[in-house]
């Protein structure tokens, strides 16, 4: 994967959907989700390791030459510290777009269930991020997409 793979997948999904290549657009959307979730997991593991390492150093060396070193706190829910992944807002926005794309296409009840799962992940990200939880426009789009996904799930027989 390249440094900008998440951006490429995001753009390619929109272009393929606009061109009518919906199967490829859906495949790109799934790859985008895999890429970003794995990157976010790796990023969180790196943050936890850094925090543990700093705590160990701080416990051993809290006062050097009269200067007190304090631990720098890192917010694991803030993806703006990583340039190798989309921010929480971009990820949630694209999850909403992609799930509505999945609901637009003819498919099986499993596709609709998968879309509902992705929207649940987007809701969790929104609730964990203070800035996103105050964004009423994003929350409204998320609720609308969840309603669409639920209605498609009912329509397809679940």
73 or 106, greater pLDDT:
106
Measured at the CA of 147, the angle between CA 36 and CA 104, to 5 degrees, comes to 70
List the alpha helices (DSSP H) in the chain. Answer: 5-18, 22-60, 88-104, 109-128, 130-133, 136-155
Residue 44 scores a pLDDT above 60: yes
Residues 6+ apart with CB under 8 A from 141: 93, 96
* Structure token pair of residue 26: 């859906």
Q: What span, in angstroms and rounded, lies between the C-alpha atoms of 72 and 64? A: 17
pTM of the entire predicted model: 0.70
Cα–Cα distance list, 130 to 23, 78, 87, 124, 126 (Å): 35, 10, 13, 11, 8
Label residue 55 by pLDDT band (50, 70, 90): low
79 or 97, greater pLDDT:
97
Label residue 95 by pLDDT band (50, 70, 90): very high
Which pLDDT value is given to residue 40? Answer: 80
Q: Please write the tens of the pLDDT for every residue from 103-157.
A: 888 888 888 899 999 999 999 999 988 888 898 999 999 999 999 998 988 888 7
Which pLDDT value is given to residue 86? Answer: 73
Q: Which helix (H) or strand (E) holds 63?
A: strand 63-64
């Amino acid at each position: 994967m390249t440094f900008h793979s998440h951006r490429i997948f995001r753009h390619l999904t929109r272009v393929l959907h606009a061109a009518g290549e919906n199967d490829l657009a859906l495949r790109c959307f799934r790859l985008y989700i895999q890429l970003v979730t794995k990157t976010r997991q790796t990023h969180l593991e790196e943050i936890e390791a850094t925090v543990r390492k700093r705590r160990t150093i701080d416990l051993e060396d809290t006062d050097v030459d009269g200067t007190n070193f304090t631990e720098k706190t890192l917010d694991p829910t803030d993806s703006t510290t990583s340039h190798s992944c989309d921010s929480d807002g971009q990820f949630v926005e694209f999850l909403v777009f992609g799930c509505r794309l999945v609901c637009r296409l003819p498919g099986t009840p499993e596709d609709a269930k998968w879309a509902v799962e992705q929207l649940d992940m987007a809701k969790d990200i929104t609730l964990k991020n203070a800035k996103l939880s105050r964004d009423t426009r994003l929350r409204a789009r998320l609720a609308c997409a969840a309603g669409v996904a639920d209605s498609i799930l009912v329509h397809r027989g679940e």
